[in-house]
Amino acid sequence: MRKPVTRKTPVKRKPSVKKKPAFWKGRGSLVLTVFCVLLLVGTIYHYREGLAYYLGFKSHKVAAHSGEEDKRFSDVRNFQLLSKYEDKVAGLDVSQYQGEINWEQVHTLENTFPIGFVFIRATAGTDKVDLQFEKNWVGTKNNKIIRGAYHYYRPNENSLEQATLFIQNVHLQKGDLPPVLDIEKLPKNQSIDSLKVGLKRWLEKIDAHYNVRPIIYTSSTYYDDFLKEEFSDYTFWIANYNFFVEDIKVDWLFWQFTEKSTVSGIKGNVDVTIYNGTPKMLGYLTIN
């Protein structure tokens, strides 16, 4: 009797996979590298004027006084935007945080762009008078710079008392800018609706006293979320420092685009604002 023959189970072979040519190896990395290079080149080209200025003057420092560290110039973006809107008016806002300012030295930004106006903090809340307000108020006038005063609004304090404090300390004259209400924070102990009532009371009391409609200062986010609709009768001074924002919106009367600029005669960083209009239009905005 024959022994049964054991058959081997056939081995299943995996389908062969064609290897990609060596050319395709690392293709993804190559594409990414090319993209990054193009992005860098595009950025350099876009900011070419600002870069040329910055690199050409990077060793040029402006000293506030002997013994103090030299100040640096504003960054490339600041120069680029000031160049772009050279037909408009550039200005500053200051408070006690800049210390004592030598207004005789305050003339230009980057030694190039004339300073056309200055907003000065006068008061905050119901009891705070800025320590440098009087000096700054007189200094800008003596230096023949258009000036304006602003009040830092504290949401959790009485709005009418805040307006009274501003009125007691700010005496506007012909040629001054309208009063400014600076609102940046949300209330802790009241609703948004109650906050809006308080803001309107402040604005109305200031309007009645000076016979001029105030300007509202706030961030672009705060403006869009809480103020744009109900306060559409007022003009706005908007703070937006985002690097990718390069255009003034139609509903921004003023645009504060940086908080990191330097000016001869002022210690430390300074906020820079562009007025969305010509020098002649700015003159029409002032009290007359």
| Fold designation for 87-285 | TIM Barrel (3.20.20)
Q: Is the pLDDT of residue 265 over 60?
A: yes
pLDDT tens-place string over residues 217-260: 999 999 999 999 999 999 999 999 998 899 999 999 999 999 98
* Higher-pLDDT residue of 110, 277: 277
- In one-letter notation, the amino acid at residue 47 is Y
pLDDT tens-place string over residues 167-193: 999 999 999 999 999 999 999 989 999
99 backbone φψ class: left, alpha, beta (φ>0; ψ -120 to 50): left
Which range (70-74, 83-87, 236-240, 283-287) has the least confidence? 70-74
Stated as kind and residue range, the H or E segment containing 84 is: helix 76-84
Instruction: Average the pLDDT over 47-62 and give the result.
Output: 38
Amino acid 268: pLDDT: 86
Task: Residue 263: name the closest of 145, 101, 81 by CA.
Answer: 101
Q: How far apart are CA 130 and CA 216, in angstroms?
A: 19
Counting beta carbons within 10 angstroms of the beta carbon of residue 229, is it exposed (0 to 12), middle (13 to 18) or buried (19 or more)?
exposed
Confidence class for position 110, pLDDT limits 50, 70, 90? confident
Q: What does pLDDT average to over the chain?
A: 83
Amino acid 202: pLDDT: 98
Q: How far apart are CA 55 and CA 211, in angstroms?
A: 48
pTM of the model: 0.77
Amino acid 24: pLDDT: 46
Confidence class for position 61, pLDDT limits 50, 70, 90? very low
Confidence class for position 126, pLDDT limits 50, 70, 90? very high
Which range (38-42, 58-62, 91-95, 144-148) has the least confidence? 58-62
For the record, the structure tokens of 247 come out as: 């255009």
Angle at 267 between CA 91 and CA 147, to 5 degrees: 30
Contact between 150 and 122 under an 8 Å Cβ cutoff? The reply is yes
Q: Is the pLDDT of residue 52 over 60?
A: no
Angle at 91 between CA 183 and CA 165, to 5 degrees: 40
- Which sequence spans correspond to the domains of the chain? 87-285
Place of tokens 């009274």: 164
Instruction: Average the pLDDT over 79-91 and give the result.
Output: 95
Find all residues with CB under 8 Å of 222, minimum gap 6, and list them.
183, 184
For the record, the structure tokens of 202 come out as: 């402040």
Amino acid 59: pLDDT: 31
